[in-house]
Amino acid sequence: MKVATIDIGTNSVLLLIAERRDGVLVPLLERATITRLGQNVDATRRLLPEAVERTLSCLASYAEELRAFGVERLEAVGTSAMRDAAGGSEFIQTAERLLGERPRVISGDEEAELTFHGALSGLGLDGAVSVFDVGGGSTEVISGRAGSKPSFTRGKSFDIGSVRLFERHVRSDPPRKHELERARDDIRAALGTVEPPAASSGITLVGVAGTVTTLAAIELGLDDYDPARVHGARLGRSSVAALADQLAALSLAERQALAGLEPKRADVIVVGAAIVREVLDWSGSSELVVSDRGVRWGLAERLT
């Protein structure tokens, strides 16, 4: 049975078409399209018509892929931007007509749980883990145990996504020092509301979603994104700090020219990298394991 899942995020829309073979979920097609549905949502609390149009155009393209693959089951979900913004009901109605399935707006808690199970897929980890997902509108941090049957312990969703904080604080190109300091203040204040995982107890930190995978792709110097090389890669704390500093020092045009960096992500990656850096510092971990998977994989595990 072919299944498909769609994760409609603040910055990008992710599609997975997969089937289970010999007990293992195998991807048949993956797509990632930056549509920035959450454009200005932090300030206006509304979905902008142009952002809705971009995202619906993407979903129309995905619907063609679903038909071409003969997908039998589909689940589509919306996350931070759709939780926060007015105007979501009209968007959902049109999306349902395009997809033949009504997208469901999930809570931060459900997003965290789906991220946890999806992120660990295919990594082969065992033991205590802490998974974090840097999205456009929010960041989730989830603790539990990896293994043949991953177990979710607790999760927390913070309103410190890369798009949200970029739009809130950054006005200059490259960003000025005080702009990034204000963004870091927001990140630290949010993370400071919960106890960090105990790094001394051997917890493995796993980073998921576009910001983390982009940092890995830049570090690897990938001209063409290769999920096989990115998934399971490791980024040390010093490497993340160096990447964050490098990105913050470049102009937007210079960032857009970097190997491994999707040009449409080049504006918010500076704040995204700051979030990853602060999560590493907060957790006390010396490195993170990169996951190319997340909510869409967690949903697919449920469907199959």
Given this chain, do its domains 3-108 and 122-295 carry the same CATH topology? Answer: yes
Q: Which long-range contacts (CB under 8 A, 24 or more apart) does 29-34 make?
A: 29/65, 29/69, 30/227, 31/62, 31/65, 32/210, 33/58, 33/61, 34/262, 34/264, 34/265
- pLDDT for residue 137: 85
Where exactly are the structural domains of the chain? 3-108, 122-295
Instruction: Tokens for 83, please give them.
Output: 């939780």
Phi, psi torsion values for 164, nearest 5 degrees:
-55, -50
Per-residue pLDDT for the chain (304 aa), expressed as one digit of tens each? Answer: 899 999 998 889 999 999 999 888 899 999 999 999 988 887 888 888 999 999 999 999 999 999 999 999 999 998 867 777 776 788 899 999 999 999 998 887 888 889 899 999 889 899 999 999 998 888 989 999 998 888 888 888 888 999 999 999 999 999 999 999 999 999 999 999 988 876 556 789 999 988 999 999 999 999 888 988 999 999 999 999 999 999 999 999 999 999 999 999 999 999 999 999 999 999 999 999 999 999 999 999 888 8
Considering the domain 122-295 in this protein, what is its CATH number?
A: 3.30.420.150
CATH architecture of 3-108: 2-Layer Sandwich (3.30)
β pairing state of 139-146 and 204-208: unpaired
- pLDDT for residue 57: 97
Phi, psi torsion values for 140, nearest 5 degrees:
-105, 140
- pLDDT for residue 122: 87
Distance of CA 292 to the CA centre of its chain: 9
